[in-house]
Amino acid sequence: MDKIYLNKMSFFGFHGVFPEEKKLGQRFQVDLILERDLKKAGETDDLQYSIDYGLVYQVTKDVVEGPAQNLVEKVAEDLSIELFKHFASLHACTVKVIKPDPPIPGHYDSVAIEIYRENR
C-alpha cells in the first residue's frame, strides 16, 4: 500500500496523569503514516485521489489540542478514529504521539507511543 507521511507536527495539549500536566500543559509531537492507494492521484494529478494534508493537520490539531486525556494512548486512539471518519479512502494509519518533555526523572530525548490501525 502507498504511504503518506506527516512528521513532527507540533501541538500544545493538556494530557497526562499528573495534575500539573493538566494544569500547565506541554508540547506534543505527532507523526502519521497514512496508507492509501495513490496510483490514480499520480496518474491524474487530482487531489480527490489522495488525502488533503491540510485537513489531516487540522484533524490532528483538534484531537491533540482538544479535551485532556490521561494517556497519550487514548489521544492516539482518538486520532485514528477521527482520521477514518474524515477520510473514507484511508486504508490504515500509524499514529505516533511523542512527549518531548514528560515530567519523569532521567535523561532521554522523548517518550512516545505508536499504534497501527486498519479501517474495517
Q: Can you list the domains of the chain with their CATH numbers?
A: 3-118 (3.30.1130.10)
- For residue 89, the 8-state DSSP code is T
- The predicted model scores a pTM of 0.95
28 within 8 A of 10, measured Cβ to Cβ: yes
Question: pLDDT value at position 117?
Answer: 98
Query: Looking at residue 17, what is its pLDDT?
Result: 94
Give CA 21 to chain center in angstroms.
Answer: 19
pLDDT in tens, 51-93: 999 999 999 999 999 999 999 999 999 999 999 999 999 999 9
Q: Among all residues, which ones are annotated catalytic?
A: 99
- Whole-angstrom distance, CA of residue 25 vs CA of residue 110: 16
What would the mean pLDDT of 17-38 be, rounded to a whole number? 96
Q: By C-alpha distance, which of 104, 105, 102, 107 is closest to 24?
A: 102
Residue owning grid cell 485521489: 49
Which residues are CB-contacts of 90 (< 8 A; sequence separation ≥ 6)? 34, 35, 36, 51, 83, 84, 119
Q: Which three cell numbers stand for residue 109?
A: 530525548
The more confident residue out of 120 and 62 is: 62
| Sheet architecture: strand order including 111-118 | 3-13, 26-35, 92-99, 111-118
